[in-house]
Structure 1
Amino acid sequence: MIRKIFLLAVLFSLTQGCTQKTSKVTHKHTNALINETSPYLLQHAHNPVNWEAWKPEVLERAKKEDKPLLISIGYAACHWCHVMEKECFEDEEVAQMMNENFINIKIDREERPDVDQIYMDAIQMMSGNGGWPLNIIALPDGKPFWGATYVPKDNWIKSLNQLIELYQNDRSRIVDYATNLSNGITAINLVENKSDSGLFNMEQLDQSVTGWARHFDNYLGGHKRAPKFMMPNNWDFLLHYAQTNDKPELMEQVNVTLKRMAYGGIFDHIGGGFSRYAVDTKWHVPHFEKMLYDNGPLTSLYSRAYAVTKNKLYKEVVEKTIAFVQEELTDDKGGFYSSLDADSLDKNGELEEGAYYVWTKEQLGQLLGADFEIFKDYFNINSYGLWEHGNYVLIRDKDDVEIAEKYNLSVPDLKEKMNKALSVLKTERIKRSKPRLDDKILTSWNGLMLSGLVDAYRYLGNEEYLTMALKNAEFLEREMIGDDYSLFRNHKNGNSDIDAFLEDYAVLSEAYLGLYEVTFDEKWLKHSKGLMEYAKAHFYDINSGMFFYTSDKDKSLIRRSIETIDKEISSSNSIMAKNLLKFHKLYPDDGYGAMAKQMLKNVQDDFAESGQGFANWLNLVLFENQNFYEIAVVGENYKKIGKDISHSYLPNSILVGSEKDGPVELLTNRYAEGETFVYVCIEGACKLPVQTAEDAVGLMTK
């Protein structure tokens, strides 16, 4: 019987939703979520369901009352989360059943990725599918025994009734199943310490990339599938690999992908910034939510690609993406908000995905007047750009030169016309009902955007980006970091109450190290190292040689997860391993290099068949197998020469600088009065010093 229910869950999770009318906000009901700060949790604070947040005392109460847990996980920008809320959680009949028979817990997966990881693994083991909303039924101790994603009302009621009956009448079978499932959830997360392994070598890496390349879409970019996710860590690694190993065919694939993403509807041509993913193969129709954690790494990727290619399109993408973040996702104090919703109110007052972003041909014609004909060609207001219901999503498929020649215009004149048209549309779009903002501030996501700003400043040279980066870095320093380098995960309205996870420590340490490289302000180097040392003390697993996702100070869940797969955000362990290797170059006697090497050995067995799932790790393979340069700039002109060096794309390097002696051995006893010298070193062994950025870069690129 229980197996039958699990199979039903799979079918239900695949069921497509229907358009729902927006009910007026009422306050007939208020539950415990009213005391939370997460916008997602607050969205559910007036549901008739007696929702609770994930807290130890709530789990204890479930044990005392002997009620199963109903755990529903989502996030503020999630379209299907909103649909299920309207259909089920705002329905009093459904709520009564849930309240009588379950302890109901709502979780913002962005605040509590530790819980989300475990239950996502559970549903994938049960059904082979996953997604959000993620709905789990578990024993009072948290062990899951049923799961589904989106479920329509009738099927939700039916499923819950069957589960209640099973829980009351056949408890032993449920307990056995939940125990076995929990053991499986723990087992799939184990990482073996492979101390006897040799390092993944360049020949193996070449073979891995060759196999990976069979899945490339050579015409439209990305991979041969739909939906298409941008996966910036994939293209960041391939850019690194292509440049340092002279692989022009791979560089072409990177360029095709970056161009097509920038041309596509997934990029907001009017307001800047990228949406979550494209539902089709040509990057046309996005899932319209905009996430900070996408736009930060994409800013880094396009900045680095611009450093290599000097392609003006990439520079424009960086500029528009940062402008979007500055306009829509920036707190007055310097923090960055999390996301904009996919849904907004349409002209009928109904929530509709993409309503804020799409246009009819008639609207465009009326707004743009004489320039509409060129605009129509430029952004494909035709069958190629048509989405549904007469709505168009702007998408390019021709470059500026081709369009300009067709209309006997110069490229600058064409760009001026298109920019003017986009400005008209932006002015009009602002009058529409805007997507909801998730204004919580998350440490790791802010770290990703901080790194994006650092890269944008480094490679584009815009001082405003450094100003934004410093304001954000100082906000995080002030609001998120304790005196002992412990971190908070979240911040909202001056409040931070969730302990940070490994992702937060790894990402922020990486961002601060990057900020040090472009400022030579020792404070950021100190903070980067302090965060890494705290993570070593409280997250490191001596048995596996990896880092747990949760601190030893936090209450244990079913397992302490070890995250190794690079997804939309690179895995916390891969980021930490890269940080360790870079700090080994600065502090060679502290054991960081051995730790990074061991972490690489532990996961490298999967590289041959699954390169794209370990893309950030593969950067470490390049670091270990090729020359990695320590660059030290010492002397009165150190900031100017350091800035000139940093304009070059040198992924296998770390840059330090000071006027005289500095905080690391590389900067010690190298000062010569009246001179500025650049030392290019490998594992502390330095070549003869040079005095210009050009000469220094030449030593690394010959």
Structure 2
Amino acid sequence: MNRTSKLCSLTLAALLLGCATPGRSSDRADGPTQTAQTQWAAWSPASFERAAQQDKLILINVVATWCHWCHVMDEVTYGDPEVAALLAEHFVVIRVDSDARPDISERYRAWGWPATALLSPRAEPVLNLRGYRDPQVFAALLRELIAEHERGELHRRDDPRETRVSTPVDQDLDRIRAKATAQLDRYFDVNGLGWGDKQKYPWSEPIEYAFLRARLHRGDPEHAQWRDRALATLDAEAALIDPVWGGMYQYSLRGVWDRPHYEKIAMIQAGALENYAHATMITGDARWLDPARAITSYLLGTMQDPRGGFYTSQDADLRRDDHSSVEGEVYFALDDAGRRALGIPRVDQAVYADLNGLTIHALAELYRASGDRALLDAALLAGARILETHARQPGGGDTLALAVSHGPDRDADPLRYLADQAAMGWALLSLHRVTADPRWLNAATQLANFMLASLAAEDGGFYAHTEDPHAVGVFAERRKPLPENALAAQFLLELHAVEDGDGSTPTPYLEHARAALLAVGGDAQIESRGKRVAGYLSAIELLGASKIDITVVAKPGDPVGDALWQAALRVWEPRASFERSEPGQRYPDTGAAAIYLCSERSCSRPITEPAKFAAEAEAFLLRE
């Protein structure tokens, strides 16, 4: 019996606790070389129909192209002759790329990748497993489930990782916020920094919430301390940036920041850029741009599609066609020449709407902080590309709505996902904010209209995807995931602020945002989301915050007006909406370009000097 088998009991109780091999890319899993091959079925109605007709169990293997242990389990466990034989005779086995299917990723992300879902022939949940499984242990589990099924005793196992959903009974978002904030704060590692202690992830949403709560509750020491904690965490996580090619690794092991797991994924790059951009604007210290530049050099050099948009990920290891590999710890220790001599780890060149939305938003924010036009150009090109290749008006001739598909083949997957609409809508608003070009606002509004028409639930909140008429078993249940609803709420809140402006234009977006936050605010769902409540908390804060309107009044092409616009963009005020207006439209023509800040209670005097705007704006905002 090998090392992993000794550590893991062959009983089902031990399997329920999980025996994932520790996630160091240099650790090798013992096991046989690949002598068999598991035949994977497509995720399709036909696959589920075959399972029901043939009374076969279902195994769903959720993977990521960049995932080290997914590759190891594929070669070692699914290549084991006994495992392959058991699966071929008794199971319909389906593999899903987590990046390609937001709905499946949302359902199983609590188990990490690889996630293994075992279901009845009618697609009823039985057991979910986290991480790598030794072939001997895995085969024992398969035999036990087969025997249970043949005896008619197959049953669902309780799992603490399962996302629990309870009907929200509390309509008090302040109380929900207090409970969720206390939950998030318990994860913070005061000594090692960051949220979590065993594995150090560069979680971007807790940092954004830390910045936001410190800003909105600046008089409260309990909240104000989080600004410095967030900045210290950003300093620490810079150790995850590849010193040769740039880009940020996904996470670090063993409770420290300098033992990286070497995959580079789009979500991590986008989140880090957003954080460093806001740190620059909050502190006025340009040193925060240095790590951001190291990430953007990688993003624009390796991950940008020539047509616009950004790829999904780069593998942690160099994996060759002959199945040999160079593991990340060895490969990424080399200099540029040494790496290139061996080859380049695989880049997943899929261009997905949700990941591009997050990246576009981050680049637009970094442009605000740095003034680097190349970043804005990349964001604009990506936005135009997604609208060209992913967006389409839905059926029924509704010209006021627009939906984006997950990938560029709009007919390959008929479902439309909340994550895509919310992330791209949020991104398009960021492009409108920095350019004042109405086409981005128009497209964002059309995406919001689609969300309200096709994804909103009658009892509040948004479903993860449009209705799937072919879904069976547990997959026929349309879920309301908390992180996606939080992003949708934040998008709608920003859209409402832009459309409503001075409070004279009612929109449906505000109430749908509020309803979404209430719909996913049940205690059970909050508790089961752990650290993932940070984005939700930011949305609650923004819902309750007083609104700020920043308007630059100037004639088109006025150089002073343009300078005032750039000065306004460099101010980090998350409550603010930005607008350009010609003299005499909203504000009187004083004969000079000016900026006006207005709250729900008062307006500033006209500010006419770009160099003085930051100080005068801060003095005004501190009173609000």
TM-score normalized by the length of structure 1:
0.75
Partner amino acid for 2:331? Answer: Y
- For 2:237, the aligned partner's letter is M
Match of 1:591 in 2: 508
Structure-2 residue corresponding to 1:478: 388
Partners of 1:654 and 1:434 lie apart in 2 by 43
SS of alignment partner, residue 112 of structure 2:
coil
Q: 1:71 aligns with which of 48, 54, 60?
A: 60
Q: 1:207 offset after TM fit, Å? A: 8.7
CA contact (8 A) 1:6 1:146 kept: no
Q: In structure 2, the residue corresponding to 1:100 is in which secondary structure? A: helix
Q: Equivalent of 1:575, from 451, 469, 487?
A: 487
Deviation readout 1:115-166 (Å, 9 max, x if unpaired): 2433567xxxxxxxx3322222212221121333322222222322232232
Q: Partners of 1:269 and 1:224 in 2: how far apart?
A: 24
Can you list the C-alpha shifts for 1:540-585, whole angstroms capped at 9, x where unaligned? 1121x11111113664424211111xxxxxx111111112222222
Amino acid paired to 1:58: S
- Aligned pair 1:651/2:574, yes or no? yes
| Aligned residue in 2 for 1:118 | 107
- Measure the CA separation in 1 of the matches of 2:293 and 2:108: 38
> Match for 1:641: what amino acid?
L
Give the corresponding residue for 2:201. 229
Q: Distance in 1 between matches of 2:190 and 2:128?
A: 38
- Which aligned pairs between 1:424-573 and structure 2 lie closer than 5 A? 425-484=335-394, 485-491=402-408, 497=413, 499-543=415-459, 545-552=460-467, 555-556=470-471, 557-564=475-482, 571-573=483-485
| Separation in 1, partners of 2:183, 2:392 | 45
Alignment length (residue pairs): 580
Matches within 5 A, 1:123-522: 130-149=111-130, 150-168=132-150, 170-171=151-152, 173-174=153-154, 177-178=155-156, 188-192=164-168, 194=170, 197-200=171-174, 213=185, 215-223=187-195, 225-246=197-218, 249-262=225-238, 264=239, 266-344=240-318, 349-358=324-333, 425-484=335-394, 485-491=402-408, 497=413, 499-522=415-438
AA at the equivalent of 1:475: R
> 1:672 Cα deviation (Å)?
3.5
- Secondary structure at the aligned position of 1:614 is classed as helix
Q: Is the 8 A contact 2:429 2:495 kept in 1?
A: no
Q: Percent identity?
A: 23
Counterpart of 2:398 in structure 1 is none
CA contact (8 A) 1:344 1:434 kept: yes
Structure 1 range deviating more: 90-99 or 433-442? 90-99
Closer/same/farther in 2, CA of residues 50 and 345 from structure 1, 3 Å limit: closer
Residues 624-665 of structure 1, C-alpha deviation per residue, up to 9 Å, x if partnerless?
Answer: 44432022223314544222201111111111224479xxxx
**1:390 maps to which residue?**
none
Letter in 2 for 1:139: S
Within 1, Cα distance between the matches of 2:463 and 2:603? Answer: 37
Distance 1:224 1:551 in 2: 34
Q: Which residue in 1 is equivalent to 2:598?
A: 681
Distance, in Å, in 2 between the alignment partners of 1:186 and 1:549 is 17
CA–CA separation in structure 1 for the residues paired with 2:202 and 2:18: 28
**How far apart are the structure 2 equivalents of 1:539 and 1:495?**
19
Give the whole-Å Cα distance in 2 for the aligned partners of 1:482 and 1:671. 41
SS in 1 for 2:99: coil
Classify 1:311/1:689 alpha carbon distance in 2 versus 1 (closer, same or farther; 3 Å): closer
Structure 1 residue aligned with 2:538: 619
Distance 1:548 1:112, change over 3 A: same
Distance 1:317 1:120 in 2: 28
Q: Deviation digits for residues 585-626 of structure 1, max 9, x if unmatched? A: 223412322232333344556599888442222223433444
Give the superposition deviation at 1:501. Answer: 1.2
| 1:200 counterpart SS class | helix
Secondary structure at the counterpart of residue 229 of structure 1: coil
Q: Residue 632 of structure 1 aligns to a residue in which SS?
A: strand
Give the CA deviation at 1:251: 2.3
Distance 1:622 1:192 in 2: 19
In structure 1, what is the equivalent of residue 4 of structure 2? none
Deviations 1:488-512 (A, max 9, x none): 11247x9854633111111110111
1:259-297 residue CA offsets vs partner (Å, 9 max, x unmatched): 1111x2x22122111111111223010111111011101
Match of 1:53 in 2: 42
> How far apart, in 2, do the equivalents of 1:102 and 1:148 lie?
16
Is contact 1:631–1:653 with CA below 8 Å preserved after alignment? yes
- Give the letter aligned to residue 551 of structure 1: T
Distance verdict in 2 for CA 1:269–1:645, change over 3 Å: same
User: Are positions 1:699 and 2:620 aligned together?
Assistant: yes
Paired letter, 1:230: P
Contact kept? 1:577, 1:596, Cα under 8 Å: yes
CA distance in 2, matches of 1:213, 1:181: 27
The CA distance in 2 between the partners of 1:267 and 1:144, in whole Å, is 39
**Given that residues 20 and 351 in structure 1 are in contact (C-alpha distance below 8 angstroms), is that contact kept between their aligned partners in structure 2?**
no
Return the alpha-carbon distance in structure 1 between the equivalents of residues 242 and 448 of structure 2.
Answer: 36
Measure how far apart 1:108 and its partner are: 0.8
- The CA deviation at 1:700 is 2.6
Q: Distance in 2 between matches of 1:215 and 1:186?
A: 19
Q: Which amino acid aligns with 1:617?
A: Y
- Measured after TM superposition, the shift of residue 689 of structure 1 is 4.6
Aligned to 1:417: none
Q: RMSD of the TM alignment (CA)?
A: 3.4
* TM-score normalised by length of structure 2: 0.84
Deviations 1:189-213 (A, max 9, x none): 344365xx34417xx9689757755
Q: Is the 8 A contact 1:219 1:256 kept in 2?
A: no
Residues 548 and 561, structure 1, Cα contact 8 Å, conserved in 2: yes
